[in-house]
Amino acid sequence: MRKTALQVKEGKGGEEVILLDTLGELKMLYQYATIVFIGGSLVPVGGHNPLEPLFFKKCLLFGPHMFNFMEISKRLVDYGGAIQVNGEEELAFQLDHLLRDEEKRKEIGERGYEFVQLHRGALERTMNEIRPYLLRR
């Protein structure tokens, strides 16, 4: 895996865009984001974990290729905790709209965080279900 220097680019409206290409960098930076777009989702790569930025109540967008996280991404969109775009033009439109609408960004971020909180404890619930079968051995 290659490591390149942190790249900060200025958008058309003066926004800063940070591009990362190394594992482990995102967890430290989500808290500073205004909007998070999940890489690997506009092309058939399968997307990346959509839950991490939601712990920081971030407005989340991803493309149509979230097959690595298909169930969770669909449920997030249905719950109002993320926006799925179908391509680059729709992504640009949504980014432009959301950068101008702080209330909408907060609403999506809050819904995403709420979604995560509602689904916490899955391991414990699963263990409670299978524990009786494990104890029989």
Instruction: Return the pLDDT at 10.
Output: 65
CATH of the domain at 89: 3.40.50.2000
Instruction: Return the pLDDT at 7.
Output: 55
Q: How far apart are CA 75 and CA 92, in angstroms?
A: 23
**Is 80 within a domain?**
yes
**Is 1 within a domain?**
no
Q: In terms of pTM, does the model score above 0.75?
A: yes
Name, in order, each residue with C-beta under 8 angstroms of 60's C-beta and a sequence gap of 6 or more.
35, 36, 37, 38, 50, 53, 54, 76, 81, 82, 83, 108, 109, 112
**Is 105 within a domain?**
yes
**Is 19 within a domain?**
yes
Our count of domains for the chain comes to 1
Instruction: Return the pLDDT at 49.
Output: 92
Domain extent for 115 = 7-135
Mean pLDDT by 10 residues, the chain (137 residues): 52 72 80 94 95 96 98 98 98 97 99 96 88 83
